[in-house]
Amino acid sequence: MADLKVKLCGVTFKNPIIAASGTFGFGREYAEFYNISELGGISTKGLTLKRREGNPPPRIAETTSGIINSVGLQNPGVDAFIENDLNWLKQHNTVIIANIAGDTEEDYCKMAEKVSAAGVDMIELNISCPNVKKGGLAFGSDAVSIKSITAAVKQSISGGIPLIVKLSPNVTSISAAAEAAQAGGADCISLINTIGAMAVDIKSKRPVLANVFGGLSGPCVKPVALKMVYECSRAVTIPIIGIGGITCAQDVIEFMLCGATAVQVGTANLSSICASKKIIDDLNAYCDDNKIKITDIIGGLIV
């Protein structure tokens, strides 16, 4: 077996493959098909302070090489997650990342307190959510708000648990967003979140999604994600988790060459249940064939 271990903020992952928030739930359904302990980590379904039913259907639309989703953070709430799912996840030998989302700074801070006290390994801050106290603009829409929310959440975390800030691509400058997260105390950044999008039904002359707008993900966003990961790798010194359209081992290698230490696999898990497991197997074969450790390729892009 090749050495696929990577270290993020002092946390050791057995391999760089993390199940992305949103497409993997809390892992229960996938555990029926393969041993999810093989994963490097799991980023939970986005958690909110209270239970959310999400947006009305239809809330998924297929598009060329991707999907547009407007699920709307459907989840049982942070307390229910801690009570019903966290202990089950802890039985598996994988890094547990709690993805948290909120409408106010107070929401984020309360959730950070709860999940850190409950013993997750890392926290991922979803800053693509609308700040209801600032007119609905996303927390991640500008550098000032990114730095502010990051600093507030960082102070609410107990036990020295690392904070990952998940960056939105829907900004003027992704490198400025990364720098703001680092300045606010982020230990790591993950990118990209979904790209704002919509779909239209020409027969009904209506939007396909009930919520009109959604977030684009899948292979079609990979070139954008690669560029943004590379830009951020040149702008900050904290580690990066690459996200966006990863479906195979080659995609992972591309992200790591561009500066990512680990990656998250999202939409691919919907189209192929064992996508993440196959990527891990193929990464192992690649490293064995080339007689390298996976960390040897991080930041190795020749420009």
CA 107, CA 81: separation in Å to the nearest integer?
16
> CA 219 from chain center: how many Å?
15
**Active-site residue (options: 109, 129, 188, 220):** 129
- For the cut 80, the answer to whether the pLDDT of residue 131 exceeds it is no
Residue 214 DSSP symbol: E
Token pair for 91: 């039985």
Under 8 Å between Cβ of 241 and 263:
yes
Of the candidate CATH numbers 3.30.830.10, 3.40.50.720, 3.20.20.70, 3.10.105.10, the domain formed by 6-55+70-195+217-297 belongs to 3.20.20.70
109 as an active site residue: the answer is no
> Stretch 136-159: mean pLDDT, rounded?
93
Q: How confident is the model at residue 134 (pLDDT cuts 50, 70, 90)?
A: confident
Phi, psi of 81 (to 5 degrees): -60, -45
Q: Is 247 exposed, middle or buried (0-12, 13-18, 19+ CB in 10 A)?
A: buried
Query: What is the model's pLDDT at position 237?
Result: 98
pTM of the full predicted structure? 0.97
- For the cut 90, the answer to whether the pLDDT of residue 20 exceeds it is yes
Query: What is the model's pLDDT at position 129?
Result: 81
> Stretch 30-51: mean pLDDT, rounded?
97
Give which of 109, 215, 93 is closest to 163, Cα–Cα.
109
Query: What is the model's pLDDT at position 137?
Result: 78
pLDDT tens per residue, range 47-84: 999 999 999 999 999 999 999 999 999 999 999 999 99
